[in-house]
Amino acid sequence: MTIHAFIDALPKVELHVHLIGSASVPTVLELSRRHPGSRVPAAEEELRAFYAFRDFPHFAEVYGAVNALVRDPEDVAMLVTGLAADLAAQNVRYVELTVTPYAHHIVGMPMRAVTEALDAAARDSLGEHGVGVGYIFDIPGEYGAEAARATLDHALQEPPKELVGFGLGGMEQARPLYRDAFRDAFRAATAAGLRSLPHAGEMTGPETIWEALDGLGAERIGHGIACLDDPRLVAHLRDTQTPLEVCPTSNVCTGQVAHIKEHPLPRLLEEGLYVTLNSDDPPMFATTLSDEYRVAAEVFGLDRQALAALARNAVNASSLDPEGRRAILAEIEALSETSRTP
């Protein structure tokens, strides 16, 4: 079995992917044609050029333009089931999908309508594609206290059945302005049983990761690559085995890492940190979850054993119940045994 065949066959879990950022190129083109007059191109070549990001602020601007095309609950459901179909083709068994409900509220979608769309899409994703879906409700950090309140209200008042976590994304540089509002929202969300799953240490330094851990009670860290700038933080993450949701291609495309060969993934592993591989916004970055495993193999030389370990990490860091974890772990072990057979 070649390394590529092994990656294709490897059962996977995706922990860090965004609803809007998961929209395939054909889906975005269809939305753009359905809603003429937007800033998003309606021709494929122009759209791919639109996805050439200068830096993270430019990425955020483009992401917002695509988000503005999602105007009704049917669009939301279409994005979820479209992602499930894409993931099923990669042998992904389960996904924790980050949804930013505030973005849907501000275009006029009621909480209940969004939740009904998410519930229906989760059922269809499992029934039609065999992909389980858990949702993470994400505060867009640059929108501050208002977004924190709206996201929390939706999570507590009208949660989708498969809501598992509470997140914080967007521009990390804005977070100090709203620190108390974010802390209060996370305190209430975790008290209600949701997991704390914020982004941190993607575009700012270790201080943002410390705040995620100490101020938000983070159980996993989205990205977290800036941890390497603080030896004390590295030691803490290693000792606690706090999972990092690492997205190599994303970090290059948004300008957080200059070149894929310079990505800190190898060092994160050398430091004994708990790493999972993820795709973030795959069509926008011209990648897939399987492609991220290929990068780990081709660029950084990870072998089958190391790739299987990353896949197991994602399963164990997920919100799956024990039975669901055991089933996928058994599949990974069976493949690993087969690949070792002469």
Q: Hey, where are the domains in the chain?
A: 3-340
Note whether 6 and 339 are within 8 A (CB): yes
For residue 104, give both structure tokens. 């849907």
Confidence (pTM) = 0.95
Residue 168's φ and ψ, nearest 5 degrees, are -145, 120
**Each residue's pLDDT tens digit, 247-278:** 999 999 999 999 999 999 999 999 999 999 99
Residue 62 has pLDDT above 60, yes or no: yes
Average confidence (pLDDT) over 272-300 = 96
Which token pair is 310?
């990353």
On whether the CB atoms of residues 243 and 309 are closer than 8 A, the answer is no
Q: What pLDDT, on a 0 to 100 scale, did the predictor assign at position 220? A: 98
Give me the pLDDT at residue 33, please.
84
- The CA distance from 23 to 50, in Å, is 14
pLDDT for residue 341: 53
Predicted local distance difference test score (pLDDT) of residue 27: 86
pLDDT at 342 over 70: no
Asked if 93 and 125 touch (Cβ cutoff 8 Å), the reply is no
Enzyme catalytic residues: 202
Question: Domain 3-340 falls in which CATH fold?
Answer: TIM Barrel (3.20.20)
Torsion of CA 10, 136, 28, 223, to 10 degrees: -70
What are the tens digits of pLDDT across the range 154-202?
A: 999 999 999 999 999 999 999 999 999 999 999 999 999 999 999 999 9
pLDDT digits (tens, 9 = 90+) for 200-250: 999 999 999 999 999 999 999 999 999 999 999 999 999 999 999 999 999
